[in-house]
Amino acid sequence: MSLAEGIVQLLEDQAKTQDFQRVKQVWLSIGELAGVEAEALEFCLDVVSRDTLADGARFHFVRQPGTGWCLACSQSVAIHARFDACPLCGKHQVQVTGGDEMRVSELEVE
């Protein structure tokens, strides 16, 4: 729930600085490694956005793949969990390089 509250707070902050009154659509970029359940988040957003500038807004979720850098192979690999082993060599020497965050990527406002 706090994640959804954070997003609505972010929208309200942006409304002040960019001078808009309503949010119609929001695109959220969610990394595969961010540990965010889109369905649960959607439900929470529905609840916390009520009576805010985002009341009735449509939320779209854009999945970003997880990527890491394997120190053993010295190359970029696709991973699906934070502590995944390298799919090439099977070693646990993979540093997460992408897909571990969630952010608002696009807004439609009025």
Q: Does 88 bind Zn ion (CB under 5 A)?
A: yes
CB 81 within 8 A of CB 4: no
Side by side, which strands form the sheet with 67-70? 75-78, 67-70, 94-98
Stretch that binds Zn ion, among 10-18, 29-37, 61-69, 81-89 (CB under 5 A): 81-89
> Hey, what amino acid is at 93?
Q
- Tell whether residue 44 is among the known ligand binding residues: no
Instruction: Out of 36, 38, 53, 73, point to the residue binding Zn ion (CB under 5 A).
Output: 73
Cα 108 to Cα 101: distance, rounded to the nearest angstrom: 21
Nearer to Zn ion among residue 76 and residue 105 (C-beta): 76
> Hey, what amino acid is at 49?
S
Annotated binding site for Zn(2+): 70, 73, 86, 89
Contact positions toward Zn ion, by CB under 5 A?
70, 72-73, 86, 88-89
